[in-house]
């Protein structure tokens, strides 16, 4: 947002009026702040003993993060479950990336006909508006609860997410390069795989790995919600069935370590690209 106080050519201070976009953003922020504050006053606090609740929360956090250990499962089994969760995220991301790449060629306005771009973008907007967990539960009706429903649900949402990201990267390409190739008689596949993809490969890698990180987190949640297994199921059992805070803490640490490793690998890949 540009400053509203500027200096004109004579060195005098000039105050410019905010435009409509700035006014809408201010109103949105003010409205969000009002609803946030009002929400605290509208909550029902009857029966809540605040101080014991705070003490209990601090005790649980101390047990989780200062005394982590595996009690119900051994370390080898826990690592295997982490690999299962990574496999679910990897499979849904790779399949989604391949499908999204070709759909993004049609969604990009500079690479496709306008009506094709509008149809694809409208379709993925509807898919993206539905949370991943709902897609998983929808497919669970046909495939049953388990890894298949989780992968298909995450795949469906990954495609909608990546098509938007890829197509926007394609639309940033210099139109002059594409027109120059068309003028020389280059075919559509040549333009896509000799200019478009090489020009945007760093963005494609970054967006794909970001979606992989998101799918890993979703796969952890789906381990319990959709019976997909993996470390998410062990976390659910430890927190709800066994109520073993030591194990919850250890599993949380394992998930955080994997997330950090994925971030480091993503940075390496982006720098290499």
- The pLDDT tens digits of the residues spanning 104-127 come to 999 988 888 889 999 999 999 988
- Which residues, 6+ apart, have CB-to-CB distance to 70 below 8 Å? 78, 246, 247, 250, 251
Point out the domain boundary residue: 63, 96, 112.
63
The DSSP 8-state label assigned to residue 228 in this structure reads: -
Q: Which residues pair with 7 in a beta bridge?
A: 13
Closest of 261, 254, 202, 270 to residue 69, by C-alpha: 254
pLDDT confidence tier of residue 1, bands split at 50, 70 and 90: very low
Asked if 39 and 91 sit in the same domain, the reply is: no
pTM of the predicted model, to two decimals?
0.78
Domain co-membership, 104 together with 182: yes
Same domain, 177 and 246: yes
Question: Percent of the chain having pLDDT more than 90?
Answer: 23
CA 21 to chain centre: 27
- 3-class secondary-structure state, position 13: strand
Helix (H), strand (E) at residue 6: strand 5-7
Residue 16 has what DSSP assignment? P
Among 89-98, 139-148, 256-265, the range of highest mean pLDDT: 89-98
The DSSP line for 227-245 is ---SHHHHHHIIIIIS--H
- pLDDT (0 to 100) of residue 167: 92
The pLDDT of residue 40 is 78
Q: Is residue 267 part of a domain?
A: yes
Domain boundary among 36, 63, 90: 63
The structural domain count of the chain equals 2
Are both 182 and 119 inside the same structural domain?
yes
More reliable by pLDDT, 137 or 256: 256
Contact partners, residue 140, CB within 8 Å, separation at least 6: 146, 149, 153, 226
Tell me the CA distances in angstroms from 214 to 90, 128, 141, 163, one per residue in order: 11, 14, 24, 15
Q: Which of 162, 169, 198 is nearest to 111 (CA)?
A: 169
What is the predicted pLDDT for the residue at 3?
47
Q: Are residues 26 and 157 in the same domain?
A: no
- Cα within 13 Å of Cα(220), Cβ side: 15
Is residue 33 in some structural domain? yes
- Is 68 part of any domain? no
Mean of pLDDT values over 37-64: 82
pLDDT tier for residue 136 given thresholds of 50, 70 and 90: confident
CB-side neighbour CA atoms (13 Å) of 221:
13
CATH number, domain with residue 241: 1.10.3720.10
Output the CA–CA distances (angstroms, integers) from residue 165 to 155, 170, 201, 231, in the order listed.
15, 9, 12, 29
- How much is the CA Rg of the chain, to the nearest whole Å? 25
Residue with more model confidence, 39 or 255: 255
The DSSP output letter for 4 is: S
Mean pLDDT of the chain: 84
Identify the domain containing residue 51 by its residue range: 5-63
CA 5 vs. chain centroid, Å, equals 38
Q: Is 90 exceeded by the pLDDT of residue 94?
A: yes
């Amino acid at each position: 947002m540009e400053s509203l106080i500027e200096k004109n050519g004579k060195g005098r201070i000039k105050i410019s009026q905010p435009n409509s976009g700035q006014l809408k953003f201010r109103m949105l922020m003010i409205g969000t702040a009002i609803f946030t504050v009002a929400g605290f006053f509208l909550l029902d606090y009857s029966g809540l003993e605040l101080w014991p609740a705070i003490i209990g929360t601090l005790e649980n956090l101390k047990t989780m993060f200062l005394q982590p250990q595996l009690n119900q499962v051994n370390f080898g089994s826990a690592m295997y479950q982490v690999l299962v969760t990574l496999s679910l995220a990897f499979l849904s991301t790779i399949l989604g990336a391949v499908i999204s790449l070709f759909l993004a060629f049609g969604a990009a306005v500079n690479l496709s006909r306008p009506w094709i771009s509008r149809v694809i973008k409208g379709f993925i907007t509807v898919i993206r508006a539905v949370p991943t967990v709902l897609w998983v539960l929808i497919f669970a009706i046909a495939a049953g609860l388990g890894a298949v429903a989780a992968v298909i649900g995450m795949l469906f949402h990954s495609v909608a997410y990546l098509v938007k990201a890829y197509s926007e990267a394609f639309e940033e390409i210099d139109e002059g390069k594409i027109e120059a190739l068309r003028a020389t008689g280059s075919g559509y596949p040549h333009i896509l795989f000799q200019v478009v993809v090489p020009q945007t490969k760093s963005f494609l890698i970054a967006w794909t790995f970001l979606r992989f990180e998101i799918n890993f987190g979703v796969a952890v949640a789906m381990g319990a919600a959709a019976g997909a297994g993996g470390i998410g199921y062990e976390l659910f059992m430890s927190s709800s069935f066994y109520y073993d805070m030591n194990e919850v803490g250890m599993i949380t640490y394992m998930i955080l370590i994997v997330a950090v490793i994925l971030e480091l690998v993503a940075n390496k890949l982006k720098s290499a690209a």
